[in-house]
Amino acid sequence: MDSIDERVIKISRSSSALITALGCAFVAGGYWMYQVDAFQLSKMRHHNNLFTTHATGILVIAVGIALAVISIKAIFENKPSLILNSKGILKNPNLSAAQLIPWNDIVSFGIVEYRSDTRLVVILKDPQKYYGVSGGVGRNINAAEAKRFGSPITISTSFLDIDAEELETVCNSYLAKYLDSRSQFS
Q: pLDDT tens-digit profile of 103-161? A: 999 999 999 998 888 989 999 898 888 776 656 666 677 777 778 888 888 888 888 88
> What does the alpha-carbon distance between residue 180 and residue 9 come to, in Å, rounded to a whole number?
23
Q: pLDDT for 96-119, tens place per residue?
A: 566 889 999 999 999 999 888 898
Task: Check residue 95 and give its pLDDT.
Answer: 60
Indicate the pairing of strand 88-91 with strand 106-114: unpaired
Which CATH number is 80-185's, of 2.60.40, 3.30.110, 2.30.29, 2.40.128? 2.30.29
> What does the alpha-carbon distance between residue 65 and residue 180 come to, in Å, rounded to a whole number?
48
- The H-or-E segment that residue 183 falls in is helix 164-185
Indicate the pairing of strand 99-102 with strand 106-114: unpaired
